[in-house]
Amino acid sequence: MATLSSAMRANPAAGFLDRYVLPKVALTVIAFASLVGVYLTMSTHGTPTAWALIRWLHLAALGILAGGFMWWGLFMKRPDDPQEVDLVARFARAQQNRFRAIAWGAWGVALVTASHLLRLAGLAQATGVYAIWAGNVILLTVALLAVAWLLAYPPTTHRPFDTQGARLALGTVVLTLASTALLDARMTFPGQTWPWVLRLLHVVAFGLWAGGAVWNIFVAVPGAQQTLAMPVVVAAAEQLERFRWAVRVILPTLLVTGLAQAIPYVGLEPAALLTPFGLLILTKITLVVALFVIFITCPMWRACSPIRGMCDLKDLKAPPLPQPTRRIDNRGKACAGFVRIQRALEAMQPSDTLELLSTDRISWWELPAWLEVNGHALLQQEKRGRLWWRHYHFLIRKAAAQN
C-alpha cells in the first residue's frame, strides 16, 4: 500500500507535538507522585532519605520494563490484510529496536539499584519477612535474566510479531514488582492483610502505566514517524486504543488503592492530614487526581492517531459524509421532534440530508427505528458532549423517489 501523501510527510511531527505535551506532563506527574509514595514507605522503614531515591529509581526502571513488555506482548498485532503485513512489520521492528535501547538503560538501572536490597535484608529478618525478601531477590534475578535474554536478540525480519518472549519478560517483571510491594507492606504493616493487597495492586498499576506511557511517547510515535504509511497509522491507532483501555483500569486502581493506603498512615482523623506526613499523602493523592484530569482533557485520548486530521479509524475506510441540506436543533426539548422531522423531510428533495440535534435520550433508539419504518437512511449517529451537556447528533438521508 502506498505511503501517505508528501504533504502529510512534509512535517510529520507537526500534527502531534502539541498533543503530546499533556502525556509528557502526565508522565512527570506520576513520576513525582510515585517518588513521594516511595519516600513515605521508606521513611517507615527507618532508612536514610537517599535510599528512597534509590528505591524509586529501582521501581521506575522495573515499571518501564513491565509497561514496555505489556505493549510489546499484548498490544502489537499482525494486521488482517496480508498486503499490509510488510509495512506494519517494519513499524513493529522500529518500535522494538527503539524500546531495546530504552530497556537496556532501565535494565542497567534496575541492576545497579538492586544493591539497596542488601540494606533491607537486616530489616526483613528483624520483622520476620526474610523469606519474602529472599523471594523478591530471586524473582528480580530471574526477571533481569529473562529481560537480558530477550533484549540480546534483535527483532528479526521473519518474526516481528513474535510476542512469547515479551510476555515471558512481562510476567517475570510484574511478579518482581508484586513481590517488592509485598515486602514493603509486610515490613510496614506486619499484622494487617489488606495493606499488602493494596500495596501490591498500587505498585503493579504504577509500573504498567509508567512503562506504557514511556512506550507511547518515546517508542510508538517516533516509530510511526520513521515508517509513516496508512497501514502504520491504523496499526498505531489500534495499539493506542488497547493502551487506553488498559489505562481505564489502571488509573482508577491507582486512585482507589492510593486513598485506601493513606488510612493506615493517618487514620480517619482530618487533623492528621495537616501533619507533615499527612501533607505528603495529600500531595500524592492530588497528583493522582491530576492524572484523571489529564486523561479526560488530553486530545490524544480522544484521537486515534498522532496524524493531524485523523480522529476516527472509520474515517480511513468510509467515504466522506455529505453536507446537510437542512438542520434541526431540538436540544433542550423533551422529545426528538418527529413532527418537525417529518415536515422537514417532506419539504426536501429525495436523497437530501437532514442534520438533527437532540437531547432526548430515547431518540438514540427511537429515531433509527422510525427512519427504518419510513424508508429513510441514517448516515451518522453519535453522542457529543459530556454529562449535562451531552446531546445526540443524527445525519439523515431522505428516501429516494419511488418509481
Q: Are 371 and 396 a contacting pair, CB within 8 Å?
A: yes
- Per-residue pLDDT tens over the stretch 305-336: 444 444 455 555 556 788 889 999 988 887 77
pLDDT recorded at residue 74: 94
H/E stretch holding 43 reads: helix 21-45
pLDDT recorded at residue 311: 44
Q: Which CATH superfamily is domain 320-397 in?
A: TusA-like domain (3.30.110.40)
pLDDT recorded at residue 168: 94
pLDDT recorded at residue 300: 46
pLDDT recorded at residue 369: 87
Model pTM score: 0.68
pLDDT recorded at residue 127: 82
Burial of 83 (0-12, 13-18, 19+ CB in 10 A): exposed
2 pLDDT tier (thresholds 50, 70, 90): very low
Phi, psi of 50 (to 5 degrees): -60, -30
pLDDT recorded at residue 66: 96
Share of the chain above pLDDT 70, in %: 77
Question: Which cell numbers hold the place of 92?
Answer: 513493529
301 pLDDT tier (thresholds 50, 70, 90): very low
pLDDT recorded at residue 208: 94
pLDDT recorded at residue 298: 54
pLDDT recorded at residue 225: 80
Q: Are 281 and 9 a contacting pair, CB within 8 Å?
A: no
1 pLDDT tier (thresholds 50, 70, 90): very low
- What average pLDDT does the segment 51-78 reach? 92
CA distance 1 to 84: 7
- Per-residue pLDDT tens over the stretch 224-244: 888 878 788 788 888 888 888
72 pLDDT tier (thresholds 50, 70, 90): very high
Q: At what angle do helices 21-45 and 164-188 cross, to 10 degrees?
A: 40
CA distance 293 to 288: 9
DSSP, residue by residue, 305-333: -SSTT---THHHHSPPPPPPSEEEEETTS
End-to-end CA distance of the chain: 42
Given a cut of 90, whether residue 388 has pLDDT beyond it is no
Q: Are 220 and 182 a contacting pair, CB within 8 Å?
A: no
CA distance 123 to 269: 30
Per-domain boundaries in the chain: 10-314, 320-397
**Bigger pLDDT: 113 or 290?**
113
Alpha-carbon torsion (193, 264, 127, 196), positive or negative: positive
- What average pLDDT does the segment 95-112 reach? 95
Average pLDDT in the chain: 80
Given a cut of 90, whether residue 266 has pLDDT beyond it is no
14 pLDDT tier (thresholds 50, 70, 90): very low
CA distance 95 to 88: 11
Question: Which cell numbers hold the place of 75?
Answer: 498490544
